[in-house]
Chain A
């Protein structure tokens, strides 16, 4: 039963990935720039959190 649940969930996720494989927003310079800055921002935050986690462990 649990195996079936995970299998059907994985199937649903694959379907969603296919459905939304292509972004529908027009990729203007402004949109590309905003998404790029957002990626950088999130990577920076994750880096800070990982640093905090490591310093906590020590």
Chain B
């Protein structure tokens, strides 16, 4: 075989691999990019404004953390063919099942309100009234699921994931100091001022946005709905790894933006950052606002689906995006009910939106540890997982991560309830 034949053969093999990956890719990228939701973008912009480039290394470390947790849902979904809610009911009984389901539904609904807050705040920068933003979002979200194919929904969701990368060109447009970014990315260090309570709170907030309970339920259900098999698991893992890389890049992009343009300023929400960017660089401000809208949109479509899937699994309703509305009426009814309820709350004048955001942090603390503990236990169940159960290395890594997340998210939740407990 001459060198040209060999090159052609390798080229064809490479193309085939890429094609196969594109068929299987989806749940991992979507869940990870949607993880950078409206709340996430707010946390990253606040981090950059307050601590400059000093904490990018910390965000990079969170990439593998998110990967290790979400990778377990790929294995569990592909092997058991059950969503996370159904798996908890089946393995741990009705008490833990109802606890997880009702907690998830309540938390998802509250989180979706924060996504709508982000979307309306972002579009108000362009002068779009909140009611228009909410109604147009409802229509797009509805159209995405009503076409009756998971594949189509996934590809449209991936387009919105692509839009989430808008922070990267935005960060490049402002000519950020590359040396400071490299130093902040690859040399772990504390910001000037050392380890303060404010820094601890922000670190906890960053961890809190990296792993959310809905992500576990969403990815496992999406893996099942997509029909992923054991043989596809490697691709599912690659998909999750690519997603975790993207989530870190987007997070770093947000940090670079505010660290360069708004250093030392206190940012309470990402819309404020976009608003302050406008006089400095109109295009960057507009890109941040578009990105914030997209982040809220992605979060809302994934979170509402996570709840609908969970309800469908437990109540035995038809619960696949491959079903038409007539075939799965309750699944779609719940999806729309969730969206309508969350969007409507944002439109209520003087709704306690700050209190809702606080509640999200607190309620998440009650569900996240339970979901993570169940995940570890299910992945160690040899009867169902067989050869795909956690290895010793995976257990050491995953249990370490889970314990760390539980401790930190608990401290985060408690400090949200008692702001002075850490001396802040």
Kindly provide the distance from the CB of B292 to the nearest chain A CB, expressed in whole angstroms: 30
Whether the pair B93, A45 counts as a contact (CB closer than 8 A) is no
CA distance in complex: A42, B362 (Å): 12
Name the CB-closest residue of A to B378: A25
Whether the pair A20, B94 counts as a contact (CB closer than 8 A) is yes
CA distance in complex: A52, B421 (Å): 12
Number of contact residues on B: which range applies? 20 to 34
Within 385-424 of B, Cβ neighbours of A (below 8 Å) are at 406, 410, 413-414, 417-418
Any A CB within 8 A of the CB of B235 = no
Contact partner, B91, options A25, A49, A52, Cβ 8 Å: A25
CA distance in complex: A45, B366 (Å): 7
Whether the pair A42, B370 counts as a contact (CB closer than 8 A) is yes
Any B CB within 8 A of the CB of A10 = no
Contact partner, B93, options A21, A30, A34, A38, Cβ 8 Å: A21
Interface string of A17-58 (1 = CB under 8 A from B): 101111111100011001100100110011011001000000
Chain B neighbourhood of A24, CB < 8 A: 90-91
Any A CB within 8 A of the CB of B381 = yes
CA distance in complex: A34, B406 (Å): 13
Any A CB within 8 A of the CB of B163 = no
Whether the pair B92, A25 counts as a contact (CB closer than 8 A) is yes
Kindly provide the distance from the CB of B416 to the nearest chain A CB, expressed in whole angstroms: 10
Whether the pair A26, B383 counts as a contact (CB closer than 8 A) is yes
Number of contact residues on A: which range applies? 20 to 34
Whether the pair A49, B362 counts as a contact (CB closer than 8 A) is yes
Chain B neighbourhood of A42, CB < 8 A: 99, 366, 370
Whether the pair A35, B369 counts as a contact (CB closer than 8 A) is no
Any A CB within 8 A of the CB of B373 = yes
Any B CB within 8 A of the CB of A16 = yes
Kindly provide the distance from the CB of B313 to the nearest chain A CB, expressed in whole angstroms: 11
Contact partner, B418, options A20, A23, A46, A52, Cβ 8 Å: A52
Kindly provide the distance from the CB of B385 to the nearest chain A CB, expressed in whole angstroms: 11
Q: A38-B369, A52-B417 are in contact. Are A16 and B378 (CB under 8 A)?
A: no
CA distance in complex: A31, B228 (Å): 28
Chain B neighbourhood of A34, CB < 8 A: 373, 376-377
Kindly provide the distance from the CB of A19 to the nearest chain B CB, expressed in whole angstroms: 8
Name the CB-closest residue of B to A22: B93
CA distance in complex: A21, B373 (Å): 20
Q: A48-B414, A48-B417, A49-B417 are in contact. Are A21 and B94 (CB under 8 A)?
A: yes
Chain A neighbourhood of B378, CB < 8 A: 25
Name the CB-closest residue of B to A52: B417
Any A CB within 8 A of the CB of B153 = no
Chain A neighbourhood of B99, CB < 8 A: 42
CA distance in complex: A30, B366 (Å): 21
CA distance in complex: A45, B411 (Å): 11
Any A CB within 8 A of the CB of B207 = no
CA distance in complex: A19, B314 (Å): 10
Name the CB-closest residue of B to A56: B417
Name the CB-closest residue of B to A15: B316
CA distance in complex: A24, B97 (Å): 12
Within 66-121 of B, Cβ neighbours of A (below 8 Å) are at 89-94, 96-97, 99
Kindly provide the distance from the CB of B189 to the nearest chain A CB, expressed in whole angstroms: 33
Contact partner, A31, options B90, B94, B377, Cβ 8 Å: B377
CA distance in complex: A49, B89 (Å): 26
Chain A neighbourhood of B94, CB < 8 A: 16-17, 20-21
Contact partner, B92, options A19, A30, A35, Cβ 8 Å: A35
Chain B neighbourhood of A25, CB < 8 A: 91-92, 377-378, 381
Query: What residues of chain B have their CB less than 8 Å away from a CB belonging to chain A?
Result: 89-94, 96-97, 99, 314-315, 362, 365-366, 369-370, 373, 376-378, 380-381, 383, 406, 410, 413-414, 417-418
Nearest 3 pairs between A and B by C-beta?
A: A23-B93, A25-B91, A20-B89
Instruction: Given contacts A24-B91, A31-B377, list 7 more A-B pairs with CB under 8 A.
Output: A23-B91, A23-B92, A34-B377, A35-B373, A42-B99, A42-B370, A45-B365
19 residue pairs A–B, Cβ–Cβ below 8 Å: A20-B89, A20-B93, A20-B97, A21-B93, A23-B92, A23-B93, A24-B90, A25-B91, A25-B92, A25-B377, A35-B96, A38-B369, A41-B406, A42-B99, A42-B366, A45-B365, A46-B366, A48-B417, A52-B418
Query: What residues of chain A have their CB less than 8 Å away from a CB belonging to chain B?
Result: 12, 16-17, 19-26, 30-31, 34-35, 38, 41-42, 45-46, 48-49, 52
